[in-house]
Structure 1
Amino acid sequence: MRKLKLQVQMTIDGFVAGPDGQLDWMWIPGERDESIFEKVIDLAESCDTILLGRKMTREFIDHWENVVDNLPDSPEQPLAQLMVNMRKIVFSHTQTAINGRNLEVENGDLTVAVQSLKNEPGRDIMVYGGANFASSLISLNLVDEYYIFRNPVAIGKGLTIFTEQKILKLDSSITYKNGKVIDKYLPV
């Protein structure tokens, strides 16, 4: 059975975005660490399907397709190729079609659809967000592995993915020289 992996960037005070979805806290100028980028690529390569919530889809698709199509010298190019070429499934209650390469829209029951995907042959499944979508997957106990990229910043208020108590077991932790920490958690 395939695993559903959740990869999120998070502040030390537990937010995945600012109150209005701001992500400016993720990138500290001059603090790029290539080993973190390599970890993100390794995680992506362990999967063959990406699940997305509708609200973050347009920005996600536009960003990665732009890097592939218009920025051949971008250091993001290896990850962009993966993001564009991988199968993507967007979960939506309001839309039946969304433009993007290798993109499908799922309008059915979230639990049934995810369990069905887990039972398909292939590599694992990755979820990058958004916050409400990730929160729904967590509440329904559908996430098998959590990869939380903790950033050395606090923002005071914002969007969270945890809306109820969730006991997790720390499986591994990697600390990077720029202060970021990647914690892998498993459900208990």
Structure 2
Amino acid sequence: MRKLVYYVASTIDGFIAAPDGSYDFFDLQPDPAGPLVKRWPQTFPTFAHQQLGIDRPQGRFDTVLMGRATYEPALRLGVTSPYAHLKQYVFARSLPPSDDPAVEIVSGDPVTFVRDLKGRPGADIWLCGGGQLAGQLVSEVDEWLVKVNPVVAGSGIPLVDHPFTPQHLTLVDTTPAGRGVVLLHYTR
């Protein structure tokens, strides 16, 4: 069965974006030779592949899930398919169906959809954001890959927007990723 993997950048105090949804306070210039580009090439937007030296973004994912607020910055730039190398599902009740064949807008229940998706043939599924969608899918996330950035934000969009229900995870690996970023890998 396919796994749902929440792979996301976070501040030390657990925020994935500013209160307005922006994330430009993160260092967005990865080292092209660094571990994030080498190990997770599929998690970079298609438009950045040439700049980062990514020829064929092979790896464990063939699908990406994102919420409306995660998808909208690309739309504002005129990019309808930010991860054209992956099948893209955007969870939104307020967006019309996408004209791009690589993007499907999902207005139904995320949990039901993901359970069905996990049962279909394919590679693992990347949940790239945001905090509200992660909060709805917290029970379905099999692995957590959190890029902890050396930033304290104080407030913003939380890593997981979910009622208080502690879930204990097992640390699998820690990887220094350069510029003070540490990748923490947890499983259920």
TM > 0.5: yes
The match for 1:53 is 67
Contact 1:111 1:142 (8 Å CA) reproduced: yes
- For 1:93 and 1:42, the matched residues in 2 are separated by 27
Contact 1:49 1:124 (8 Å CA) reproduced: yes
The match for 2:167 is 166
Q: Which runs of 5+ in 1 are unaligned?
A: 69-79
* Secondary structure of the corresponding residue to residue 14 of structure 2: coil
Query: In the superposition, relative to structure 1, how do residues 161 and 106 fare at CA in structure 2: closer, same or farther (>3 Å)?
Result: same
Query: In the superposition, relative to structure 1, how do residues 183 and 136 fare at CA in structure 2: closer, same or farther (>3 Å)?
Result: same
Higher helix proportion? 1
Name the % identity: 30
For the pair 1:155 / 2:117, whether they are aligned, the reply is: no
Number of aligned residue pairs: 169
- Cα RMSD of the aligned pairs, angstroms, is 2.4
The match for 1:24 is 24
Q: CA deviation at 1:109?
A: 2.0
- For 2:187 and 2:155, the matched residues in 1 are separated by 26
Q: CA deviation at 1:181?
A: 0.3
Q: CA deviation at 1:65?
A: 4.2
- For 1:176 and 1:133, the matched residues in 2 are separated by 26
Contact 1:21 1:159 (8 Å CA) reproduced: yes
What is the TM-score with the length of structure 1 in the denominator?
A: 0.79
- For 1:129 and 1:42, the matched residues in 2 are separated by 15
Contact 2:42 2:61 (8 Å CA) reproduced: no
- For 1:172 and 1:64, the matched residues in 2 are separated by 37
For the pair 1:143 / 2:147, whether they are aligned, the reply is: no
Query: In the superposition, relative to structure 1, how do residues 13 and 150 fare at CA in structure 2: closer, same or farther (>3 Å)?
Result: same
Q: Which runs of 5+ in 2 are unaligned?
A: 44-56
Query: Following TM superposition, where does structure 1 have runs of at least 4 consecutive aligned residues deviating by more than 4 angstroms?
Result: 61-66
Contact 2:2 2:118 (8 Å CA) reproduced: yes
User: 1:11-37: per-residue Cα shift (whole Å, max 9, x none)?
Assistant: 011111111112122117xx6423122
Query: In the superposition, relative to structure 1, how do residues 125 and 60 fare at CA in structure 2: closer, same or farther (>3 Å)?
Result: farther
